[in-house]
Amino acid sequence: MKKIIKNIALCGLMTFGAGFALSSCEDFLTITPTSSIVEEDYWQDKNDLKNGVIACYKRMVDNDLLRKYVYWGEERSDNFERSSSITSSGPVANIMNANLLPTYDQFDWTSMYNAINYCNKVLAHGPEVIQIDESFSENDWKPIRAEVITLRALCHFYLVRTFGEIPYVTSDYNNDSQELRLPQSTQLTVLDNIIEDLESIKNDAMLDYGNTVENKGRITKKAVYALLADVYLWRASYKTGNNQPFKKVVLSSNYIGDMTEAELASRQEEYSTTAAADYQKCIDYCDQIIDMVKQEKIEYINKNGLNIGGGDIDLDLEDLLAGNGSSNKTKSYIISSGSAYNSIFGAGNADESIFELQVEGTTYGNSMITDLYYSIKDGKSGAFTGPDVLFGGIESTPNTTSTGYVFTKTDYRRWETIIFDEPGQNSFAVGKYINRTISQNNPNSIYLTDNSAQSLTKNYIEQAKRSSSNVDANWIVYRLSEIYLMKAEAISQLYSDEENLTEAFNYVREVFKRSNPYAYQANNSTANNDTLKFVNFSTPENLEILVLKERQREFIGEGKRWYDLVRYALRRGSTSEMLDILSHKYTNSKSIKAKLADMQSLYSPVYNQEIKNNNWLYQNGVWSVNETSSRTDDL
């Protein structure tokens, strides 16, 4: 009898609707699984395979996963606090106060492993399709294989940064009697495997799918390079702090792994490469991405007749980023644009975008942002708000390494990130992704130069929100500003000479300058205070802090801050300095520091249901005191 695939929630199995197609970029946005299919009858030709790839992407924009990107990358950070509508004793409040219980479903990784299983199923059946479909060759398969391996690597990267030690899964499973039962690998082993996988396929990835939606919404060679740069940066930081596998892990009573508790507590690993080599790899891949973006823009300029007067085109770093207002350059071929926010987060798939998960918006909208950031329908904050300690005022100058308010007075990102409701408010709804467009009502363009008065932004800044019936905000994974900042961060760890540190500073300055154009205008009488100055960041230590601060300004709400803080701690092999940054939003900072003193506390506990279902798993020992991990027969 033919076996029917079912129960996606338990097993993460592939189901495809009959209407799947890859005939247009519109289909790429809108298809969705609608019915089950017979496994052994499905993988018959290249269309089946291509539809399987699309299902991988659709799984990654499931609202459960969209929430996980925020829960895992933001919830524990200093960017947000719980809104007044969220109970003070529930999971959100407890997690934000460093009380992590393995019973909280924020730590349920099933949806991510379902996405990995989708990828593994495509990888398992691709070679079969080559044998069946004469019109589908090995050369056709290679870019698809590269695409899906990269998606799988991205999923594992989310998991390893969140949980530290995870199962690394490379085979698929098919039915609801077959649970995912694999042991965890150490963090370093997972990072090594991710890099090995990506290095093996990087030359096979697509350069151009022929349309913008797929070039931004599917894995390209630039996306592979971006993920490689990110993973190398993380692995280098892990090695810099001489980090080792989890220690003091308390075993569940029915653990069947091959390590004793004593062995788990004393594990040591040798590093096969140096941290310096990994930092350099990060820099190299960032350089390749920047060169590719530059060449693409030059080709676009020449192709569309924008190179007035001919001659060689020399693009600066700022020319590659989405702009705020008209360019102040005299180069006539530089394209003027509206605000960077409108193109990046409003329209989506901006020029500087490298990879973003596509959200259709109507039938399958991004309800994550309206639940967690701002409820468009109800007109109130979602679960998270920006704390007063970050947004209630402005930093007097960007030229500081101390902890304070996030934004200075000239930074557009303050009113792009939060929603001002009334003067004197002490909590701030998150507007990033919620707002479709942002503009200034006053034609004199004077109010965007001063963030110090909330009433000015409330009265003169127009934040046009998305409709509750069309929440089509894509989830951005990588964009060019992050490549600039990853390169700067790696340089700050690898070099100490003025020439290299100046180069790194320039990358940070371009990201800052894009959102602070008035700070650099000649008519700004306080420009010396408002602009970034290299003299204040001329040491590796100070430059590292500058990158961390700029990443916070640039990526608030994009699921990156907690990972940035963990990476900062990894390099030190200690949570101490990281907690000095994190704890400034807490009134009980001593308690928070005590709870997070152990490096393992930076990683989330394994969901207790997973421990029940898979007795190869062990719990992160920091959180094991709250574990209830006995396996029951009726599961």
> Is it the case that residue 432 has pLDDT exceeding 90?
yes
Confidence at residue 336, expressed as pLDDT on a 0 to 100 scale: 33
Most distant CA atoms of the chain, gap in Å = 80
C-alpha dihedral (128, 129, 132, 138), degrees to nearest 10: -100
| Overall size of the chain counted in residues | 635
Distance in angstroms (rounded) separating the CA atoms of residues 280 and 292: 18
Q: Which residue has better confidence, 327 or 560?
A: 560
> Is it the case that residue 632 has pLDDT exceeding 70?
no
> Is it the case that residue 588 has pLDDT exceeding 90?
no
Average pLDDT value for the chain: 86
Q: Which amino acid is it at 376? A: I
Distance in angstroms (rounded) separating the CA atoms of residues 150 and 204: 11
Q: Give 458-482 pLDDT, tens digit per residue.
A: 667 788 999 999 999 999 999 999 9
What domains appear along the chain, each with residue ranges and CATH number? 8-215+244-276 (1.25.40.390)
Region 541-551 average pLDDT = 98
Confidence at residue 305, expressed as pLDDT on a 0 to 100 scale: 82
Confidence at residue 18, expressed as pLDDT on a 0 to 100 scale: 28
> Is it the case that residue 439 has pLDDT exceeding 90?
no
Beta carbons within 10 angstroms of residue 57's beta carbon: 21
> Is it the case that residue 454 has pLDDT exceeding 80?
no
Distance in angstroms (rounded) separating the CA atoms of residues 8 and 336: 47
Region 483-498 average pLDDT = 98
Q: Which amino acid is it at 76? A: R
- What does the DSSP 8-state code read for residue 148? H
Distance in angstroms (rounded) separating the CA atoms of residues 375 and 65: 19
- What does the DSSP 8-state code read for residue 411? -
- When pLDDT is cut at 50, 70 and 90, the band that residue 331 belongs to is very low
For the chain, percent of residues with pLDDT exceeding 70: 84
Instruction: Give helix 275-303 / helix 480-494 axis angle, nearest 10°.
Output: 150
Confidence at residue 238, expressed as pLDDT on a 0 to 100 scale: 98
Flag the least confident range among 74-78, 173-177, 189-193, 563-567. Answer: 173-177
Q: Which amino acid is it at 429? A: A
Confidence at residue 118, expressed as pLDDT on a 0 to 100 scale: 94
> Is it the case that residue 447 has pLDDT exceeding 60?
no
> Is it the case that residue 484 has pLDDT exceeding 70?
yes
Is the distance from CB of 226 to CB of 483 less than 8 angstroms? yes
- When pLDDT is cut at 50, 70 and 90, the band that residue 214 belongs to is very high
332: Cβ–Cβ under 8 A, 6 or more apart, which residues? Answer: 306, 308, 309
- When pLDDT is cut at 50, 70 and 90, the band that residue 290 belongs to is very high
Q: Which residue has better confidence, 633 or 395?
A: 395
Confidence at residue 56, expressed as pLDDT on a 0 to 100 scale: 96
Confidence at residue 193, expressed as pLDDT on a 0 to 100 scale: 98
Region 55-72 average pLDDT = 96
Place of tokens 């960041």: 537
Q: Give 242-288 pLDDT, tens digit per residue.
A: 999 998 665 566 677 777 777 777 788 999 999 999 999 999 999 99
Distance in angstroms (rounded) separating the CA atoms of residues 120 and 450: 51
Half-sphere exposure at residue 347, Cβ-oriented, CA atoms within 13 angstroms: 15
Confidence at residue 441, expressed as pLDDT on a 0 to 100 scale: 67
Instruction: Give helix 221-240 / helix 480-494 axis angle, nearest 10°.
Output: 30
Place of tokens 């963990």: 566
- When pLDDT is cut at 50, 70 and 90, the band that residue 629 belongs to is very low
Q: Which amino acid is it at 162? A: T
Confidence at residue 249, expressed as pLDDT on a 0 to 100 scale: 63
Q: Give 304-325 pLDDT, tens digit per residue.
A: 888 777 778 889 999 999 987 6
Number of helices (H) and strands (E) in the chain: give both, helices first: 27, 10
Q: What Cα–Cα distance (Å) separates residue 421 from each residue in 153, 429, 447, 454, 458?
A: 41, 9, 17, 9, 7
Half-sphere exposure at residue 582, Cβ-oriented, CA atoms within 13 angstroms: 30
239: Cβ–Cβ under 8 A, 6 or more apart, which residues? Answer: 271, 273, 274, 275, 278
Q: Give 364-415 pLDDT, tens digit per residue.
A: 888 999 999 999 988 889 999 999 889 888 999 999 999 899 999 889 898 8
Beta carbons within 10 angstroms of residue 141's beta carbon: 17
Which pair of structure tokens corresponds to residue 624? 């094991």
Beta carbons within 10 angstroms of residue 40's beta carbon: 11
> Is it the case that residue 519 has pLDDT exceeding 50?
yes
Which pair of structure tokens corresponds to residue 567? 């990476």
- When pLDDT is cut at 50, 70 and 90, the band that residue 448 belongs to is low
Flag the least confident range among 8-22, 119-133, 395-409. Answer: 8-22
Nearest Cα neighbor of 286 from 510, 480, 149, 476 is: 480
Place of tokens 């468009």: 376
Region 104-110 average pLDDT = 96
Flag the least confident range among 146-150, 215-219, 568-572, 626-630. Answer: 626-630
Question: Helix/strand/coil (H, E, C) string of 2-13?
Answer: CCECCCHHHHCC
> Is it the case that residue 340 has pLDDT exceeding 60?
yes
Q: Give 180-190 pLDDT, tens digit per residue.
A: 688 999 999 99
